[in-house]
Amino acid sequence: MRMVIIGGGILGTAHAWTAIARGHEVVQLEREREARGATVRNFGLVWVSGRAAGELDLTLRSRELWEEIGGRVAGVGFRPAGSITLVRTPAELAVAEAAAAGTTARQRGFTLLDPERVRALNPALRGKYLAGLHCSTDAAVESRQALPALRAHMAASGRYTFHDGTEARSVLDTGSGVVVTDDTGRRHAADLLVHCPGAAHSGLTRELAGDLPVRRVRLQMMQTAPLGEPLTTAIADADSFRYYPGFAGPQLDALTAEQSQAATAAEHKMQLLCVQRLDGGLTIGDTHEYTEPFAFDVDEAPYEHLTEVTEELLGRALPRIVRRWAGVYSQSVDPDAIVTRVQADTNVWVVTGPGGRGMTLGPAIGEQTADQLGL
């Protein structure tokens, strides 16, 4: 089969990867010179830890696929580093204890560690905390270099073509296939179109699929200079419990009722996530903003909060901040849907809305779509 995939982010590229692996031919169109959306504005985390029980099998499958991909494409930078969520109050500790004793704890690789065992696993964590919830299945990839590496690998098959700086303008479904016209005037004929628009919900996306059950979410993040020592796992603070459904339960309800979250963290709906890049720097975030229109600038208060919390857990000052950024991702508003997948016409599909799960679930979503379409 010949496919056209619109969108060069992680979802579009994951669909291309699956199609190439199954023997098909793919033409991929990306309107920018390189993906510039949530795909590169994230932590690069493959995050099993707090995923809802109903999506745990899919998450673990995606983790398995990322490890396979990383073994074949070194440039992806896959590493099975795991994570530690550090708790600082008795109410936070109760949530961690419940997670470590939960029915899915073995699948997730949860172990509750005292401070001595935390430091044995991750010696950079010399700060203040009561305990750490270790998740051995969490992993990381290099989000800013993964997609070019995947494209180079696919191109070597002879069945993959990537057109950057190319925006799809129109789609004609002939009933037996599709014809996509781009803004250079080229026409791409194929058996099937998969459109992965990311957070671009208007324009061609709306023309193909109407108003989808998705919303846009804005975040703020930052990057430091090299830490100067290994951070052997990703780290999180207990505010992350509030944003991941895998931690739901009476202990989390009690934590929420306690209102122990810092004012800045509550206002900006924050959690601390931190992962070390291959160059030694730390990617640190993030915030959640749900009401549009989004500001064009970034607020300084969340960065000050993230710096304070990270330094408390590390027990040292952070290296200088070398860059800050905001990003927007697409999130399904259906609590039972991992992704919004719509058949817009006989041979046209639109796939978007994984929320902050795009990097984690991309390979499995691509595989799931291929299975659904019989590729």
Query: Consecutive sets of 10 residues in the chain, 375 residues long: mean pLDDT of each?
Result: 97 98 98 92 95 95 98 97 97 97 97 98 98 98 96 98 97 96 96 97 96 96 98 97 94 88 91 98 97 96 97 98 97 91 96 95 97 94
Say if CB 240 and CB 271 are below 8 A apart.
yes
pLDDT at 30: 97
In DSSP terms, which residues pair with 349 in a beta bridge?
194, 343
Q: What is the pTM of this model?
A: 0.96
pLDDT at 262: 87
Three state DSSP letters for the chain: CEEEEECCCHHHHHHHHHHHHCCCEEEEECCCCCCCCCCCCCCCEECCCCCCHHHHHHHHHHHHHHHHHHHHCHHHCCECCCEEEEECCHHHHHHHHHHHCCCCHHHHCEEEECHHHHHHHCCCCCCCCCEEEEECCCEECCHHHHHHHHHHHHHCCCCEEEECCCCEEEEEECCCCEEEEECCCCEEEECEEEECCCCCCCCHHHHHHCCCCEEEEEEEEEEECCCCCCCCCEEEEHHHHHCCHHHCCHHHHHHHHHCCCCHHHHHCCCCCEEEECCCCCEEEECCCECCCCCCCCCCHHHHHHHHHHHHHHHCCCCCCEEEEEEEEEEEECCCCCCCEEEEEECCEEEEECEHHHHHHHHHHHHHHHHHHHCC
Say if CB 140 and CB 231 are below 8 A apart.
no
pLDDT at 336: 83
Cα separation of 239 and 222, whole Å? 18
Say if CB 40 and CB 362 are below 8 A apart.
no
CB atoms < 10 A from the CB of 68, how many? Answer: 13
- What domains, with CATH codes, occur in the chain? 1-78+142-213+334-375 (3.50.50.60), 83-136+214-332 (3.30.9.10)
